[in-house]
Structure 1
Amino acid sequence: MESVYIYRIIRTGLTNFWRNIWLSATATLIMVVTLAIFTLTIIAYSVSSSAIQNIQERVDISVYFKSQVAESQIMTIKAEVEAFPEVASTQYISADQALADFRAKHANNALINESLDQLSGNPLPATLQVKAKQLDQYPQIAQELQQPQYQEYIDKVNYEDNRSVIERLARIISTVKKVGIGMMAVFSLIAILVIFNTIRLTIYNRREEVEIMRLVGATNWYIQWPFIVESILYALAASIITILLTIPILNYMLPRFSTYLGIDVATTGILSIGYIFLFQVGVALVLGVISSLVAIRRYLKI
């Protein structure tokens, strides 16, 4: 009996979907536009976040030690710095390693190599490279390294050299997050209002059918479910159409983004076709079903 009941509800929903094909097409088109906006927002946010994250990983502050400081003392300071709650990682580069790296970098520059050979000692200091967990934590790390207990060992902290870059990146990250969240909120509200009004119009056009169903003793859920089935059909149809539009866009845009930014944005998990399709289906179902339920309960007084 229940299977017959479910079959009739699904059949009624499908019949109503095809019977009012132009209204269904309009609702589906609205859902496609909404999903496209959501998807493009997610793609833009993901690509910009990946690019900023890639740049962020290249940013650090370097701590230069005085030439007379013993390596054991530097290791002690390194351990203390790693204990800072803001520090993600540190890398120690000895004076000898710094000189070897410098020579390797300028191996084809005869003038630099001749100048280094004429020096009696190593002109490069031991260095500690420090990476913060977040960009906005670098000022605090630099301030902690300027405490009196470190002054006799540390010659220079190059935070000031990178300060403008770090602060600019921090502002960009903050702006991208705020704009992304704001756009999602605005378009979510627009989608809910549009779908709500679409379902309400659908119900209005079928008000005589609903009254007849009530007169013959149909239950509230039996009246509601065909409209919910319709909203699910809108969601599925819109998701399929949107993903078919998304695939060529991604295939065209992502390689160009990767070339321009110097990173492989296609490897970002959220940009895989499977995740995007699941995201689109989920958003469409949530918006469609919730909007239809609200419209049904408000208009039909159920």
Structure 2
Amino acid sequence: MIESLKSLKRNGWMSIAAFSAVTVTLLLVGILLSILMNVNKVASDIENDVQVRVLINRGTTKKQEQKLKENLEDLNYVGKIKFSSKAQELKNVIGSYGKEFKLFGGDDNPLNDVFVVSAKKPEQTVKIAKAAQKMKYVYDAKYGGASAKKLFSIVDNIQKWGIGISLLLLFVAVFLISNTIRITILSRKNEIAIMRLVGATNGFIRWPFILEGAWTGLFGAIIPIVVVNFGYMWLYKVISASLASTGYHLLSPGVFLVQIDSLLIFIGIVIGAIGSGVSMRRFLRI
């Protein structure tokens, strides 16, 4: 292990070139994975926040409202049901659109009492709305219509594209890191040939280079980890303040950054070692 570190020092410029390639690649991987994971998180929060608003007929008694609630609870795909009175609905309108709507308080309130229904699965929202519209004492059931369907489609596409881009990034990382390490080994082919001439076994020749590749991946991950950690913590403070009013939030830096850091170290070490091992094969053939 110590010899592999000394070897990296002896091959200064080539080692720096390998570190640079690893650093740039892992920095790109770290940034884009952070973005994609948070986009998926916020998209999932938005998706899960879609609800059906069941407007109750005006003049419906408390007993009838309770009966309607029981009928909604009987639907297999209903999760939670929350009651919102027309007075509360008016407060929400005033909070969103201004104090001038206070004129509609008391008996002049034109709004309906509402059951806010959450589905067990977001894609079941439409089914709940259609079933609720057919129930007694229901004035209307709203879920966003085409907007909700469009939202579900966007979320689905984000998740699919996110997985695809992540896999593509990992492939690019493997390609760049492996080829950079291969170049460093090519520059030392005479050293390998001499070792073979003096009778060194393939394993004796191979392992120092594999360790060098692992060290290259580990050292190359240091700068990306520092940049991603400080950059994410700063952006988390800025963006979280903007998202506070929406009820959505980014992934908490604590556990998330540990996961990203571990992933970058793992990618760097494994790909560095594999790249060195694969690159050595042509020089170890008899």
Q: Which amino acid aligns with 2:73?
A: A
Amino acid at match of 1:90: K
Q: Structure 2 CA distance, aligned partners of 1:34 and 1:210?
A: 28
**Equivalent position of 1:74 in the other structure:** 68
Aligned to 1:5: none
**Alpha-carbon deviation of 1:60?**
0.8
Is the Cα contact below 8 Å between 2:8 and 2:15 reproduced in 1? yes
Task: Note closer, same or farther for the CA distance 1:102–1:255 as it changes in structure 2 (3 Å cut).
Answer: same
- The CA distance in 1 between the partners of 2:285 and 2:239, in whole Å, is 51
Unaligned residue ranges in structure 1 (runs of 5+): 1-9
Distance of 1:207 and 1:26 partners within structure 2: 17
1:107-118 residue pairs with structure 2 within 5 A? 110-113=102-105, 116-117=106-107
Aligned position for 1:180: 162
Give 1:223's aligned amino acid: I
Give the TM-score, by structure 1 length: 0.79
Q: Equivalent residue for 1:214?
A: 196
Conserved? CA contact 2:104–2:110, under 8 Å: no
What runs of 5+ residues in structure 2 fail to find an aligned partner?
Answer: none
Residues 153, 36 of structure 1: alpha-carbon distance in 2 compared, 3 angstrom cutoff? same
Task: State the 1:124 CA deviation.
Answer: 5.1
- Which whole-Å deviations, capped at 9, do the CAs of 1:185-209 have from their partners, x for residues lacking one? 2222222222222232222222222
Cα RMSD of the aligned pairs, angstroms, is 2.8
Identity, % of aligned pairs?
28
**Preserved CA contact (<8 Å) 2:202 2:284:** no
Q: Counterparts of 1:1-302 in structure 2 under 5 Å? A: 10-66=1-57, 67-68=59-60, 70-81=64-75, 83-84=76-77, 87=78, 89-93=79-83, 98-102=85-89, 104-105=91-92, 106=94, 110-113=102-105, 116-117=106-107, 125-145=112-132, 150-159=134-143, 162-262=144-244, 263-265=248-250, 267=252, 271-272=256-257, 274-301=258-285
Judged with a 3 Å threshold, the aligned counterparts in structure 2 of structure 1 residues 269 and 144 are, in CA distance, closer, same or farther, namely farther
Q: Distance in 1 between matches of 2:281 and 2:35?
A: 37
Q: What is the distance in 1 between the residues matched to 2:168 and 2:103?
A: 60
Q: TM-score, normalised to structure 2's length? A: 0.83
Q: CA 1:204 to 1:35, structure 2 compared with 1: closer, same or farther past 3 Å?
A: same
* 1:133-178 deviation per Cα after TM superposition (whole angstroms, max 9, x unaligned): 44433223334445xxx4434332113xx12332332233223223
